[in-house]
């Protein structure tokens, strides 16, 4: 939003609803079954440097997205289907 190339907590709050609505359309396909996303957590990734002893994730280059699917171990033919960047 402020064009600095980083994501602040304030910017994350402003885009959280938009990101979440796109993520809710994600599915996991295993065999012939589709499993819907059951939960989403969004957070900012702290900078990963050896000199970073004070974890300050108020401005981040990356967004961490965690989601949960209850697929019950369907096997190696599992696909993650998401359209964050278009179909």
13-27, pLDDT tens digit by residue?
A: 888 888 888 888 888
| Tokens, residue 48 | 């990963």
Q: Look-up: residue for tokens 């996991």?
A: 28
For residue 85, pLDDT beyond 70: no
Answer for the pair 18, 32: CB distance below 8 angstroms, yes or no.
Answer: no
Q: What is the mean pLDDT of residues 60-69?
A: 85
Listed residue (44, 80, 78) closest to 62, CA to CA: 44
Q: Which H or E element spans position 10?
A: helix 9-23
Q: How high is the pLDDT of residue 44? A: 86
Number of alpha carbons in the 13 Å side-chain half-sphere of residue 30: 12
């Amino acid at each position: 939003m402020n064009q600095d190339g980083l994501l602040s907590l304030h910017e994350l709050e402003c885009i959280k609803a938009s990101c979440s609505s796109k993520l809710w359309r994600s599915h996991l396909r295993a065999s012939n079954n589709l499993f819907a996303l059951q939960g989403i957590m969004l957070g900012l990734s702290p900078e990963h440097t050896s000199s970073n002893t004070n974890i300050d994730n108020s401005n981040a280059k990356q967004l961490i997205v965690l989601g949960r699917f209850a697929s019950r171990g369907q096997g190696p033919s599992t696909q993650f289907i998401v359209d964050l960047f278009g179909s």
